[in-house]
Amino acid sequence: MRADLDIIKEWIQPRSRVLDLGCGGGELLHFLTQDKQVQGYGMEINAEDIATCIDKGVNVIEQDLDQGLTNFQDKSFDMVIMTQALQAVERPDLVLDEMLRVGKETIVTFPNFGHWRARFYLALKGEMPVSKFLPYTWYNTPNIHFCTFKDFEALCRQKNIHIVRRTVVNSKHRDHWITALWPNMLGEIAIYHVTT
């Protein structure tokens, strides 16, 4: 399982109601439904991912995040999750507002653009970073709103969002004490658990 998913699955209460925005092939929801008996729903617009969810028996709803979550009632989910999609939506701030409205709690993960490799790439090569982990070039990337840990926390402060916990991982391993020492430089994926 992807490093960030491996961590957040531990943060989900058994038998809770979970909404996973941009759920991909439903890997996390599949695990949560099987092992934690959660009542989970995924939201996705990619046809192949939707097909994979159906194969797995994961509840998946074809809906575009950028159109909002107005079809869901306030606090109708125990947890609303969005992994690795914050940087790809049109207005991350509005999506975050909606997540916090619909969910009692929220987990967000995103690639940290403050990671040392990204910084060195831009600083030394003078080009937008391209890596195995972030394989797109600037003109075809779905990732239109990169941010760093610091940027995200500034947004949370501005919106009075309470950070319950945060952790960082690199794409290969789980959180390491060295990564924890200097997260904005050494963490590749940021994981935030937030509430209003």
Q: Is 16 in the site for other proteins (CB under 8 A)?
A: no
Say whether residue 143 binds other proteins (CB under 8 A). no
**Which residues, in sequence order, are CB contacts of 113 under 8 Å at separation 6+?**
129, 146, 147, 148
- The 75-104 contact track toward other proteins, x by CB under 8 A, reads -x----------------------------
By CB under 8 A, name the one of 16, 39, 46, 141 that touches other proteins: 39
Measure the CA dihedral 20/21/26/32, to 10°: -10
Taking residue 142's Cβ as centre, other Cβ atoms within 10 Å add up to 9
Token pair of 114 as six digits: 């403050």
Among 2, 9, 17, 119, binds other proteins (CB under 8 A): 17
CB half-sphere exposure, 190, CA atoms < 13 A: 28
31 binds other proteins (CB under 8 A): no
Structure-block tokens of residue 90:
């049109």
CA pair distance 43, 68, nearest whole angstrom = 11
Residue among 41 and 146 whose Cβ is closer to other proteins: 41
62 is a contact residue toward other proteins (CB under 8 A): yes
Which of residues 54 and 154 has its CB atom nearest to other proteins in the complex? Answer: 54
User: Where along the sequence are the contacts to other proteins (CB under 8 A)?
Assistant: 17, 39, 41, 47, 50-51, 53-55, 57-63, 71-73, 76
